[in-house]
Amino acid sequence: MEDKALVQLEQVSQVYRSGDRRFYAVQDITLRVHDGEFVCLLGPSGCGKSTLLRIITGLQKPTEGRVLYRGEPLVGINPHATIVFQTFALFPWLTVQGNVEVALKARRIPPHIRVPRVLDLIDRVGLDGFESAYPRELSGGMRQKVGFARAMAVEPELLCMDEPFSALDVLSAESLRGELMELWTEGKIPTRAILMVSHNIEEAVFMADRLVIMDKNPGRVVSEVVVDLPHPRQRKSAQFLEIVDQVYGVLAGTTQPEPIELGSTPGGPGQIRWLPDVSINNLIGLLEHLNKTPRQAYDLYKLAGDLGIDSDLLLRLVDAGEMLGFVVVAQGDVTLTPLGETFSEASILARKEIFATRIRRLPLVRWLLEMLRQTPDGRLPEDVIKTALSLELAPAEAEKQLDLMITWGRYGELLAYDEITHTVILEPAGVALPS
Amino acid sequence: MMDRVYQTKQPFRPFSKSDIFVLLVMIAFLYLGVHLGLRAPKVVAGPEILLAPRWLPYYALRSVGRMAAAYLLSLVFALCYGYAAAYNRRAEQLLMPLLDVLQSVPILSFLPVALLSLSALFPQGLAAELTSIILIFTSQAWNMTFSWYQSLTTIPGELREASHVFRFNGWMRLRTLELPFGLPGLLWNSMMSWAGGWFFLMAAETFTVGQHDFRLPGLGSYLREAANLGDVRAIFWGVGTLVAVIILLDQLLWRPLVAWSERFTLEMVERDFPATSWFYNLLRSSALLGRVSHGFSLLGEHLDAWMLKLWPYRSEGVPAAGVGRRRYLGMALRIALILVVAYGVLRAVGLLRTVPIAQWGQIGLGVLMTTLRVVLALVITLVWTIPVGVAIGLNPRLSSWLQPVAQIVASIPATALFPVFVLALAGLPGGLSLAVELLMLTGAQWYVLFNVIAGAATIPQDLRYTTSLLGLSQWERWRTLILPALFPYVVTGAITASGGAWNASIVAEYIEFGGQTLRVKGIGDLISFATVQGDYPMLLAATLTMVVTVVLINRFFWRKLYRLAEERYRME
């Protein structure tokens, strides 16, 4: 059974150092991709799925653990793997043909062999007639076709795709997915296995044979789902929707009693519940939508379809609603709470008040308010807070969390922020201790 | 295209330990120069400059040759230095602060020291040629290096990863990724550097103090000789030739290159106003160029194949041999550098201690006078360029014909005109002071003007409509919209302008003209006079004071303003 795995990760971890703190981008991952398999790494942004992809291709060396390719330890960049990038990564100064050719040129394939091969590939992905066009003349979908053609030109055994459809518009993405699946399932490309990174649940279920579901802080594998449906898959079929629902259930989790749900403060024992990266306007939009059918459980996958947003954003929004006590989640269903109902019906000012009382219950916000109260004038430089947060988080993530706290705090009128001096300021409403 | 004019983004780097080290390196370096200068010949005879117009092509060729040599040197330097700084973290820690200080130093203040030290080492003609080339180089290299370094460090991660996944070797990476990516910036900065280089070329070609006549046969010395003899006809010929040469090079070389480089911009959308060049379009439609470019692509193919064979792709994962030895070598180099610098600084301090207090007083006064002159030049510049620039920038019709005119006028290097100013103003009371101020102004104002024009052109139409709809008075309109919107542009322009003004003081405050020596009080005058007298401690003290003053003003005044402008007033 050992020899059947194309790629094998054994307890792989990637550690980032910041000062003398260590942060896991991914922790203790064990994973196999078998010959003939299409595997999708699925999870929220920041769960390290792209890092994992880079480790598998050899672009990044894991801090701990082993990477095996066909049973052999991987040294340097895997010559049998290639990547299709999210942003296409085309050289803007090369034509379509030039972009595909350059991959072969670097492998020292002489012009008389590579030119016909390249033209054939361009034809196969449906870009015939655009050989001499520059990437900037093409639409997003066509650019990614060039990306595919270039990746296939080197005839990789392992095709890695880093969210290949997320920079495309909905319709282009849809048609490109179908075309790729056609090439793959009908064996028109010499690829032995595909590994795709995605945060879009439907896309993953539509394409992959197996979903490896990940979560963040630290990045880890939480579950695996096998999709045993024949291609081409019918998105409206009962089995398809059942799997989608199941995956939503795994990713959205279940609302816990408040003390567990809200987590602990920085420095305290237990897990800190970080703020999800959402805009407040989007959250209000979601709540208002749910309020159209109050007190009714709503399937998350249906909600994504109705709102026309991808699963990643929806999950973050639901996460935020859950933290604030506006919704509860169970088994892939979301239900508006009475508080959520009140909030979505309230006036602009009343909403702010409800929001303020709710965020004051969040340990993270409480921690920040407490720090500000300790100062003589209720002001703290941004950097001080960032440094305090960096004890728990990687620097970029700490900055993001601080930004979110400031934005939420400003909306709830608990905080103000001075952009010139980069100072966070306590507002009068933030001074009062929470009841 | 105007939106890119005269803007080199500077990193926000606070004053740090490495800056102090860089300053120490410079002190050691200056000491070395002065020390060498002690052995310079006491008398240096200059070349004979002939004023007959038929000699002008020869002089023009000599000048352009110097420019080309210096530019090539700058280019090679920029490429190597940028590469080292971008890919070697240790090198980066020293190289970037060094570059940062170097680019804010008034280059011309090194002219006397450089001339003296090189003429001690080389025969006189060669020494002067080398000095002019080094001087132009020092004016050209920094921004090009910055641009190249910045390009290398901002290559999008995925493109870089793609180059690894597709197994590009170093050569392929340079050719298909790094060079094309850096090209627009590098070329744009080359063009700026080239334009700026004329200023220093003219200064280097015309430098003479006391018994030392360091002039070089070229357009600069021609103009100076013409002014010296009061030959108005020759002045016209000289200025005409200079302008013609500058414009020809711009039209036939730089503009076509910039237009060609448009295809290397990373933006995935077509630009509204791509850079164009009539000459480039002409070339592109010619059959000859088609054949030439076909030949080049064949050559490129062979070159690539050869390079790939020579250096096959090496995976990053392979541990490099001799890392340990390299580390020791690096350590040894570092210690050697520190020792040399320490020795130089010690000797420099020894030399500086021989400078009497009274002379330090003179230096202080000189710096103050020159600073006041620079400030005055900036104030005058701001007073006239802001209203004029806004008028041009907000009026496309006006700017379509005024802009090229202004560009031609601005292309004349101020140092070339200086002898003419002196000729015109020497008779008036305070004539030289006036001429110095005028030189500073000509060296400074254009940067601000073009930046203001560019800034005014970027004010969104919507905001202008809004101010009209709100019925704001003219003053309110300036206060709430135009001035804040211009602020970042004015600051960027003023930083470059003040650099130009400081440089001007060196050549202007002390000048020998028509058999007389004309002097005005200032640090430039002290530097030149110390050169004449052979007063080396004074030369070192004055040069050093000027460098430190300018660097400090840059760090503590301009950098702060720039930061404020970027964070608060940038329209984006």
Condensed to tens digits (0 to 9), the pLDDT of residues A49-60 reads 999 999 999 988
In chain B, residues with a C-beta closer than 8 Å to the C-beta of A195 are none
Comparing A392 with A351, the larger pLDDT belongs to A351
Compute the average pLDDT of residues A178-183. 90
pLDDT of residue B316: 53
pLDDT of residue B206: 79
In chain A, residues with a C-beta closer than 8 Å to the C-beta of B269 are 136
Q: What is the pLDDT of residues B118-159, one digit of tens each?
A: 878 888 778 888 888 888 898 888 888 988 998 898 888 899
For chain B positions 264-323, those within 8 Å of chain A (CB to CB) are: 264-270, 301, 304-305, 308-309, 313-318
Q: Taking CA atoms, what residue in A is nearest to B266?
A: A92
At residue B383, φ and ψ (nearest 5 deg) are: -60, -40
pLDDT of residue B315: 61
Q: Which residue has the tokens 């991808």?
A: A310
Q: Which of A61, A67, A80, A85 best probes binding to B when mutated, by most B CB atoms within 10 angstroms? A: A85
Residue B568 is given by DSSP the state I
Q: What is the pLDDT of residues B241-270, one digit of tens each?
A: 988 998 898 888 888 888 888 777 766 555
SS3 A42: strand
Cβ pair B385, B188 in contact under 8 A: no
Written as six digits, the tokens of B143 are 């921004």
Residue type at position B363: I
pLDDT of residue B336: 87
For chain A positions 150-179, those within 8 Å of chain B (CB to CB) are: 150, 154
A91–B265 CB contact, under 8 Å: no
Exposure b/e, B449-472, CB count within 10 A at least 16 = b? bbbbbbbbbbbeeeeeeebeeeee
Mean pLDDT of chain B: 82
The separation between CA A417 and the C-alpha centre of its own chain, rounded to angstroms, equals: 29
Check if A373 contacts B (Cβ < 8 Å).
no
Compute the average pLDDT of residues A259-282. 82
Distance in Å, alpha carbon of A345 to nearest chain B alpha carbon: 35
pLDDT of residue A189: 84
Distance in Å, alpha carbon of A373 to nearest chain B alpha carbon: 29
pLDDT of residue B324: 52
Cβ pair B453, B400 in contact under 8 A: no
Q: What is the pLDDT of residues A376-388, one digit of tens each?
A: 888 999 999 998 8
From residue B4, alpha-carbon distances to A93, A231, B143, B185, B248 in Å are: 20, 52, 14, 10, 22
Cβ pair A168, A140 in contact under 8 A: yes
In chain A, residues with a C-beta closer than 8 Å to the C-beta of B166 are 82, 102-103, 106, 150, 154
pLDDT of residue B325: 58
Among A106, A110, A136, beta carbon nearest to B268:
A136
Check if A89 contacts B (Cβ < 8 Å).
yes
A59–B267 CB contact, under 8 Å: no
Find the DSSP H helices in A71-169: 96-105, 111-124, 140-153
Among B305, B316, B564, beta carbon nearest to A76:
B316
Residues A278 and B421: their CA atoms lie apart, in Å, by: 64
Q: Which residues pair with A8 in a beta bridge?
A: A32, A68
Residue A35 is given by DSSP the state T
In chain B, residues with a C-beta closer than 8 Å to the C-beta of A87 are 156, 158
Check if B180 contacts A (Cβ < 8 Å).
yes
CA quadruple B58, B61, B63, B65: dihedral positive or negative? negative
Residues 6+ apart with CB under 8 A from B183: B261, B264
Domains by residue range for chain A, with CATH: 2-95+136-250 (3.40.50.300), 276-354 (1.10.10.10), 362-431 (1.10.10)
SS3 B156: coil
B177–A91 CB contact, under 8 Å: yes
Check if B156 contacts A (Cβ < 8 Å).
yes
Comparing B534 with A427, the larger pLDDT belongs to A427
B264–A77 CB contact, under 8 Å: no
At residue A162, φ and ψ (nearest 5 deg) are: -100, 95
Residues A114 and A170: their CA atoms lie apart, in Å, by: 34
Q: Which of A108, A112, A154 best probes binding to B when mutated, by most B CB atoms within 10 angstroms? A: A108
pLDDT of residue A2: 46
Comparing B290 with A291, the larger pLDDT belongs to A291
By C-alpha distance, which of B40, B108, B12, B115 is closest to B534?
B40
Statement: residue A107 has pLDDT above 80: yes
A106–B167 CB contact, under 8 Å: yes
Compute the average pLDDT of residues A350-379. 91
pLDDT classification of A432: cutoffs 50, 70, 90: low
Check if A420 contacts B (Cβ < 8 Å).
yes
From residue B345, alpha-carbon distances to A419, B112, B352 in Å are: 43, 20, 10
pLDDT of residue B48: 77
In chain A, residues with a C-beta closer than 8 Å to the C-beta of B267 are 92, 136
SS3 B455: helix
Statement: residue A356 has pLDDT above 80: yes
Check if A93 contacts B (Cβ < 8 Å).
yes
A105–B313 CB contact, under 8 Å: no
A83–B161 CB contact, under 8 Å: yes
B165–A77 CB contact, under 8 Å: yes
Q: Which residue has the tokens 């392992």?
A: A158
Check if B3 contacts A (Cβ < 8 Å).
no
Q: What is the pLDDT of residues A63-76, one digit of tens each?
A: 999 999 998 998 88
Q: Count other Cβ atoms within 10 Å, centred on residue B480.
A: 15
By C-alpha distance, which of B369, B385, B522 is closest to B444?
B385
In chain A, residues with a C-beta closer than 8 Å to the C-beta of B564 are 420
Statement: residue B7 has pLDDT above 50: no
B267–A136 CB contact, under 8 Å: yes
The 3-state DSSP composition of chain B as helix, strand, coil percent (nearest 5) reads 80, 0, 20
